[in-house]
Structure 1
Amino acid sequence: MSSLAPLMGRLSQVFSARMCLFACTILICIGSVVTSTSSTFAMFMVGRVITGSGAAGVLVVAAILVIQMASPKQRGVYLGLVNSGMTVGVSLGAVIAGALEPIIGWKPIFGMQAPLAILAGIGLLLGIPANYGTNNEYTTHSLREKLARIDYSGCVLLIATIVLFLLGLSGPRVLPTPLVLSFVCLPLFVLNETRIAYDPVIPMTVLRSRGTLLTCFATVGFMMARWCVLFYAPVYSLAVRGWPPAAAGSILIPTNAGFASGGILAGYFHIRRHGSFYAHSLISMALFPITLLILAFISTARTPSWVYITAVFFNGLLTGAALNYVLVHSLHLTLPDVHPIVLSLVATFRGFAGSFGSAIGGGLFARVLHKSLVTGFEDAGLGDNRDLIRQLLGSPRDVYRLEGEKKAIAISSYEDALKALFLAGMGLSILVVAIQAGTGWKEPSKSSHERIAEDEVEGEESLVAGS
């Protein structure tokens, strides 16, 4: 998903957003079938890769459609609905899969997604006007000419950069070789885009945009802090409250309901015009760390359930509002002809957050939990518990299989780890506010856009002359 999302903006321009969205649903269908029929782990992973390739375009292209088809008064509401659809799917998927897997097994759960994807694709194909997006420069091109315009070298280098970077960070330990190779591919990609590609994946106007760059960095940091809640609120329910797995997944319902409400309310009541939303993006982002601070101190066994549910709801509410404001403001900072590319980049960095959150946040959580368990058992004089500690690190639900003092130590250790994680997320989200503040509030001047375009033309002419 992360590696292909930045390509979707350009592909939707070349082949139309309507056809890209339909093709993505077909890929999701194929990937679901491969996953559900897999008999080996390798085949299972192939199915997930195919599914992720299709999923890369769904959110991005849906946002592009909203930006291009909705009026300024409706744009905020529909962007909120797109984000809400994604987050409602995440929360319902966790709950439904957790309830059905013990009954029907994991293969049917993946298999049932294939016909749903086909129905969604047909509905989108019929629902979006056939002549939509036929007024750009690619309209008169044949399929062969469109295929010839794709920047294949840029696509390969960008995919390699992202995949290697995520591979290096997403495991139980950092892998230096993929990270080094990723940092080798990145300058090659930039060189390709600026000096070689005739029709680059990411145009110079976007690469040189301070607002776009800082928005991407702010988005990945903000969503990393958000993923701390999405990953570890269910862990709190399992280990500290002792809820069964299906019920633990339901803790995502209120926080994702808040996410949906925040985006829709901001869009319906406020985002009803073109222009800057600089102050509103900063205010909503600045309120977000407060909810993490509250979660850090209420993630205990003594906290009433309704208090915790309220806290995660408001965490989601501020997330939904902030992302809507930041996305619309990023469009204000760039020219309309590169909006599909900007949306793709923001979605890509947003997708990074899940991998970064699991790698970095998960590492911090595990280290604090391990230290607290070791100290707790040693202070209580309970002897060597290395096997138990290893078991508790891997399975939060095993906490409530313990009894007496061991159970109390395990619960207390999970409380310490959750507190450290949420406080770290709070610190990160405060830094994110400073990064977002650097995006500025002034829209780009057409003269600067034209100057960059002239530089691109001069570069292309020099390449032609040299060849």
Structure 2
Amino acid sequence: MSQTPTPTKAEPEKSESGMTHRQVMQSLTGLLMGMFVSILAGTVVSTSLPVIVSDLAGDQTSYTWVVTATLLATTISTPIWGKLADLANRKLLLQLSLLVFVVASAIAGFSQDTNMLITMRVFQGLGAGGLTALTQIVMADIISPRERGKYMGLFGAVMALGTVGGPLIGGFITDAINWRWNFFIALPFAAVAIILIQKTLHLPAQAKRKVSIDYAGIVLLSAGVSSLLIWVSLAGKDFEWASATTAWMVGGAVASLAAFVIVEFKASEPIIPLTMFKNRTFTLSVIASISVGVSMFGTSVFLAQYMQLARGANATQSGLMTIPMMAGLLIISTIAGAMISKHGKWKAIMVVGSVLQLAGLYLLGTIHYDTNFVLVSAYMFLLGAGLGMVMQNLVLIVQNAVTPAEIGVASSGIAFFRSLGGTIGVSVLGALMATKVADLMGSKSAELGAAIAALGEKGKDLAESLASGNIPAVHSLPESVRTIIESSYGDAVAHVFMVAAPLSILTILAVAFMPNLELGSQTRHQREEAEAAERNLAEVSEAAIAATPRLADEDTSARH
């Protein structure tokens, strides 16, 4: 009697990396959640900082340092984490950065004074720097460049959600519960991310080798970048731009960075290998990343100010009003990533994206306090779409262009320069905005004085508040005064966007001149194995060639 063969269950289709789509998505869930946690922590407190600093009896200097401390730690630590990823276990480093972040967030929520809060924000920044660098690096381990495009869209969407949604969530939590919960809200996400990474993320084993850490490079890079960013953050507020303090800080930064360059040329394991700048793709991506950083971080800061100070929205409303930009980044980055993976073509998409970035910034530079909000929304969507097509794909292109051994430091290098550009851009553009507001308010001083005088006794307190530099909630002001202030801030924000727009020309040129390299279909581990096989083959061939004359001589001797 014939036996009917038992039907076998079809094997799940595997990607070029050897992982099924389900395994890739499981691994990415932990990475995406970790990245969302780091971005959320940096943006969720932005709308509640005045309340936090006031509750902790802090001053303006404390307010500045609560923001600057995290930016500094994130920017400086990003390339260091990237270098460690090339030397040590990347999965362990990823979990460690999450753990540092979780513990610092929890302690920050219990802060009793601004010094404690600032210290914990530094540790938050250190953890965030690790998450920023390592998520991109780990992706290169499990997904080939060709496949990575569609997954990069998910990273762009998460960045948009965290950057634009953070202020909205923070404003709501502060109003509805308490500002301390801004630091606790990310904890469950971080805990789940650590567990998911442990259970689902399986990375290829790295070859054991002697590790040499560039301590001098770490110290000099930290000192140089810290001095520069602290100067940009405080100049024009705590001291004049042209002053002895500026000379000392800028001089110290230049000296430290010059020494850093010298050290990196001599170090056996440099933090940022300067030889990478010989790679045209990497160099042009660095230039583009600086411009993208200004656009990404600057717009999130100044659009929130536009909504609150030029259109009279409160913190929660301003978060809702910036949703069009988040939607543009989220939707278009996902579509662009899928198209890159399907067709393997990236250059046309990124050129179009950089042009949209320029158009979005220019159009936002034309808005006023009373511009039709449908138009403002369209401009925001356009800018978000441009950023979505460029930002994450810069990392993808660089990872595809460098050797497997350089993927970690190259990925973190792009993130470093994007963060550096955003930090410097926000500070400089913020100083320009403050000057523009003062000029516009000064030109309308007679009109403002008449409007306040018409209020009688009610206008005295308002006049004192405005004279001290404090702006009350705009939506609560009398109509006559409110219109003057809204128009001043509306025009000042537009001026900032118009100044930032030309930077996008750098993005267009950088992307246009990048070599149009074909996206590879191998993961980092597969590329390392292929290169090792090629080296072995070359060695065998050389040995065979070297042995050929000797064998010929022996054969000749034998015949004689």
Q: What TM-score bracket applies, with the shorter chain setting the length?
A: 0.7 to 0.9
Are 2:267 and 1:267 aligned?
no
Q: Distance in 1 between matches of 2:286 and 2:470?
A: 33
1:74 shift after superposition: 2.2
Amino acid across the alignment from 2:224: T
Of 311, 314, 318, which aligns to 2:386? 318
Alpha carbons of 1:399 and 1:152: their partners in 2 closer, same or farther (altered >3 Å)? same
1:369 shift after superposition: 1.1
CA deviations on 1:206-240 (whole Å, 9 max, x unpaired) are 14334323321221123213333211212222122
Of 413, 425, 447, which aligns to 1:357? 425
Does structure 2 conserve the Cα–Cα contact (< 8 Å) formed by 1:165 and 1:182?
yes
* Aligned counterpart, 1:179: 250
Does structure 1 conserve the Cα–Cα contact (< 8 Å) formed by 2:310 and 2:489?
yes
Alpha carbons of 1:85 and 1:340: their partners in 2 closer, same or farther (altered >3 Å)? same
Q: Distance in 1 between matches of 2:279 and 2:285?
A: 10
* Aligned counterpart, 1:339: 407
Are 2:328 and 1:292 aligned?
no
DSSP 3-state at the match of 2:79: helix
Amino acid across the alignment from 1:10: K
DSSP 3-state at the match of 1:38: coil
1:328 shift after superposition: 2.8
Q: Distance in 2 between matches of 1:245 and 1:112?
A: 18
1:277 shift after superposition: 3.6
1:372 shift after superposition: 0.7
Q: Distance in 2 between matches of 1:302 and 1:165?
A: 37
Of 296, 299, 306, which aligns to 1:226? 296
CA deviations on 1:64-99 (whole Å, 9 max, x unpaired) are 122221134420111221232232122332111101
Are 2:501 and 1:426 aligned?
yes
RMSD: 2.6
* Aligned counterpart, 1:251: 321
Amino acid across the alignment from 2:230: L
Amino acid across the alignment from 2:395: L
Alpha carbons of 1:192 and 1:289: their partners in 2 closer, same or farther (altered >3 Å)? same
Alpha carbons of 1:34 and 1:266: their partners in 2 closer, same or farther (altered >3 Å)? same
DSSP 3-state at the match of 2:231: helix
* Aligned counterpart, 2:195: 122
Does structure 2 conserve the Cα–Cα contact (< 8 Å) formed by 1:22 and 1:122?
no
Alpha carbons of 1:91 and 1:117: their partners in 2 closer, same or farther (altered >3 Å)? same
Does structure 1 conserve the Cα–Cα contact (< 8 Å) formed by 2:220 and 2:257?
yes
Alpha carbons of 1:298 and 1:416: their partners in 2 closer, same or farther (altered >3 Å)? closer
* Aligned counterpart, 1:400: 475
Q: Distance in 2 between matches of 1:199 and 1:403?
A: 63
Percent identity of equivalent pairs: 23
Amino acid across the alignment from 1:7: I
DSSP 3-state at the match of 1:249: helix
* Aligned counterpart, 1:451: none
Does structure 1 conserve the Cα–Cα contact (< 8 Å) formed by 2:359 and 2:382?
no
**1:105-184 equivalent positions in 2, closer than 5 A:** 105-129=178-202, 132-134=203-205, 136=206, 139-141=207-209, 145-146=210-211, 149-173=212-236, 174=241, 175-184=246-255
Amino acid across the alignment from 1:374: G
1:390 shift after superposition: 4.9
Does structure 2 conserve the Cα–Cα contact (< 8 Å) formed by 1:228 and 1:421?
no
* Aligned counterpart, 2:269: 199
Alpha carbons of 1:408 and 1:112: their partners in 2 closer, same or farther (altered >3 Å)? closer
Alpha carbons of 1:394 and 1:428: their partners in 2 closer, same or farther (altered >3 Å)? farther
1:357 shift after superposition: 2.6
Greater shift, 13-22 or 235-244, is seen at 235-244
1:9 shift after superposition: 1.8
Which of these two proteins has the greater Rg computed from alpha carbons?
2
1:440 shift after superposition: 4.3
Q: Distance in 2 between matches of 1:241 and 1:380?
A: 18
1:161 shift after superposition: 2.0
* Aligned counterpart, 1:281: 350
CA deviations on 1:299-357 (whole Å, 9 max, x unpaired) are 43241x33322321221111011123433333344333312211101001111233223
Alpha carbons of 1:21 and 1:68: their partners in 2 closer, same or farther (altered >3 Å)? same
Does structure 1 conserve the Cα–Cα contact (< 8 Å) formed by 2:313 and 2:475?
no
* Aligned counterpart, 1:458: none
Are 2:96 and 1:28 aligned?
no
Amino acid across the alignment from 1:87: A
Aligned pair count? 429
* Aligned counterpart, 1:463: none
Q: Distance in 1 between matches of 2:467 and 2:290?
A: 31
Amino acid across the alignment from 1:240: A
Q: Distance in 1 between matches of 2:343 and 2:130?
A: 26
* Aligned counterpart, 1:416: 491
Amino acid across the alignment from 2:217: G
Alpha carbons of 1:404 and 1:242: their partners in 2 closer, same or farther (altered >3 Å)? closer
Does structure 2 conserve the Cα–Cα contact (< 8 Å) formed by 1:31 and 1:47?
yes
Q: Distance in 1 between matches of 2:448 and 2:77?
A: 51
Q: TM-score of the superposition, structure 2-length normalised?
A: 0.71
* Aligned counterpart, 2:440: 372
Q: Distance in 2 between matches of 1:58 and 1:368?
A: 37
1:54 shift after superposition: 0.4
Alpha carbons of 1:109 and 1:287: their partners in 2 closer, same or farther (altered >3 Å)? closer
Alpha carbons of 1:250 and 1:430: their partners in 2 closer, same or farther (altered >3 Å)? same
Q: Distance in 1 between matches of 2:218 and 2:297?
A: 28
Of 39, 42, 50, which aligns to 2:112? 39
Are 2:121 and 1:48 aligned?
yes
Alpha carbons of 1:353 and 1:387: their partners in 2 closer, same or farther (altered >3 Å)? farther
DSSP 3-state at the match of 2:208: coil
Amino acid across the alignment from 1:152: Y
Q: Distance in 1 between matches of 2:186 and 2:371?
A: 40
Does structure 2 conserve the Cα–Cα contact (< 8 Å) formed by 1:17 and 1:133?
no
Does structure 2 conserve the Cα–Cα contact (< 8 Å) formed by 1:236 and 1:299?
no
Q: TM-score of the superposition, structure 1-length normalised?
A: 0.84
CA deviations on 1:370-413 (whole Å, 9 max, x unpaired) are 1111111225663999745456x654x63333224322211221
What are structure 2's unaligned runs of at least 5 residues? 1-73, 454-461, 519-560
Does structure 1 conserve the Cα–Cα contact (< 8 Å) formed by 2:367 and 2:490?
no
1:21 shift after superposition: 0.7
DSSP 3-state at the match of 1:13: helix
DSSP 3-state at the match of 1:409: helix
Alpha carbons of 1:156 and 1:273: their partners in 2 closer, same or farther (altered >3 Å)? farther
Greater shift, 34-43 or 166-175, is seen at 166-175
* Aligned counterpart, 2:166: 93
